[in-house]
Amino acid sequence: MSALRRLVLDLLKPNEVETVQFARRLADIEGVDGANVSLLESDKDVQNLKITIEGESIDDEAVATEVEALGGTIHSVDEVVCGDRLVEESPTHQD
Amino acid sequence: MTSRLAFLRELLRDEEVRSISRRYFISNGFDGTLTSIGIIVGSFLGGNQTGMEIIRVVAGGTVGLAASGVWSVWEIERAEKLAELQRVEDRLLIGLEGTELHERKSDARKVNAVMSGLGPTLGMLLPIVPYFFVGAVLSLLWATVLGVLIGVGLLFVFGAYMGNISDQNWVIAGLRTGLVGLVVGGINIVLPG
């Protein structure tokens, strides 16, 4: 099975869980080389984040478990890149 | 165990946990100190009581106030924190039971409750320390005077600490709270009977 190399997630997390902690914990997962956490929206109780994770072999279940342990909930999986190299999204006429 | 201690350390760095604990500690510490001053002055003026009897009365009151401090905060914070979690759960559309946030709230409640009980315990017990020396080096009068002064000193420390964290003049803030101890002692003296 080909390795998962990039995962882009849209998720909600409680405000009380710090974004830095969220990023650190995701980056610490085995097989993950780095994580980028961007704030999309924030209100009184929760924050909407876009999370980009890259690595040699990302364990998507471990990522989902860590997100849940931190009190987050995944809205959607927005991008998945698998294989020996990172393939970027190709522009189409519709874009 | 090590990770538990690390978790507790992280919890104590949380300004919200510290702020709530501080309020309960000082508020209930204030209650305890003033109650203790009231009891020792009242007991001394009532006569007929030995140093050890005064200690027993205050110790009994300490148990009551400390239990009240721990129990009430345990229940208050339980309700408050569950309500906070419920609000977040409604937004996330998931239950947070078993998550680190839930565990963190639960541990924060324990810290709040312990500090709430510790405040009145110190406030009640410190002013009665001189009574342990009654008969040996102190008379009942001097034990009472020293007890009131210890209580006033403790109230001064509470006030000075609050003044310090809020960037006020800590001496003035301490004197303001310390004065209450003298007022309570004074009221006891002028009370009829």
Task: Return d(Cα B8, Cα B157) in angstroms, integer.
Answer: 26
Closest by CA to B90, choosing from A40, A57, A46, is A46
Give A7's strand partners.
A53, A80
Which amino acid, B175?
A: L
Count other C-beta atoms under 10 Å from residue B82's C-beta: 15
CA-based nearest residue in chain A for residue B14: A16
Asked if residue B148 belongs to a domain, the reply is yes
Please count the structural domains in chain B: 1
Asked if residue B3 belongs to a domain, the reply is no
Does B92 reach chain A within 8 Å, measured CB to CB? yes
What is the three-class DSSP state of B50?
A: coil
pLDDT digits (tens, 9 = 90+) for A52-80: 999 999 999 999 999 999 999 999 999 99
Asked if residue B6 belongs to a domain, the reply is no
Count other C-beta atoms under 10 Å from residue A23's C-beta: 18
In the predicted structure, residue A42 carries a pLDDT above the cut 70: yes
Nearest neighbour of A71 by CB, restricted to B87, B93, B96: B96
Residue B1 confidence (pLDDT): 64
The ipTM, to two decimals, is: 0.73
Residue B46 confidence (pLDDT): 85
Asked if residue B159 belongs to a domain, the reply is yes
- Find chain B residues with C-beta within 8 A of A14's C-beta: 88, 92, 96, 101
Asked if residue B132 belongs to a domain, the reply is yes
Rounded to a whole number, what is the distance in Å from the CA of A26 to chain B's nearest CA?
A: 14
How would you label A38-71 residue by residue, b for 16+ Cβ within 10 Å and e otherwise? Answer: eeeeeeebbbebbbbbbbeebeeeebbebbbebb
Asked if residue B5 belongs to a domain, the reply is no
**Residue of B82, B92, B106 for testing the chain A interface, max A β-carbons within 10 Å:** B92
Asked if A46's CB is within 8 angstroms of B101's CB, the reply is no
Task: Return d(Cα A81, Cα B165) in angstroms, integer.
Answer: 51
Which amino acid, A50?
A: K
Does B96 reach chain A within 8 Å, measured CB to CB? yes
- Where is A54: in which H helix or E strand? strand A46-54
Count other C-beta atoms under 10 Å from residue B119's C-beta: 27
Residue A95 confidence (pLDDT): 80
Contacts (Cβ under 8 Å, ≥6 apart) of B115: B21, B22, B24, B25
Count other C-beta atoms under 10 Å from residue B193's C-beta: 5
Domain boundaries, chain A: 4-82
How many residue pairs bridge chain A and chain B with CB atoms within 8 Å of each other? 38
Arch. (CATH architecture) of A4-82: 2-Layer Sandwich (3.30)
Contact B18, B114 (CB under 8 A): no
Does A73 reach chain B within 8 Å, measured CB to CB? yes
Nearest neighbour of B101 by CB, restricted to A12, A16, A43: A16
Asked if A73's CB is within 8 angstroms of B99's CB, the reply is no
Residue A33: both structure tokens together: 């080389």
Under-50 pLDDT residues of chain B? none
**Within its chain, how far is the Cα of B147 from the centroid?**
17
Nearest neighbour of B94 by CB, restricted to A45, A69, A73: A73
| H helix intervals, B47-167 | 51-92, 100-125, 140-165
Rounded to a whole number, what is the distance in Å from the CA of B96 to chain A's nearest CA?
A: 6
Residue B8 confidence (pLDDT): 76
Full domain range(s) for residue B116: 14-186
CA-based nearest residue in chain B for residue A43: B91
Residue that is written with structure tokens 């998931």 in the block: B94
Sort strands A34-42 and A4-14 into parallel, antiparallel or unpaired.
Answer: unpaired
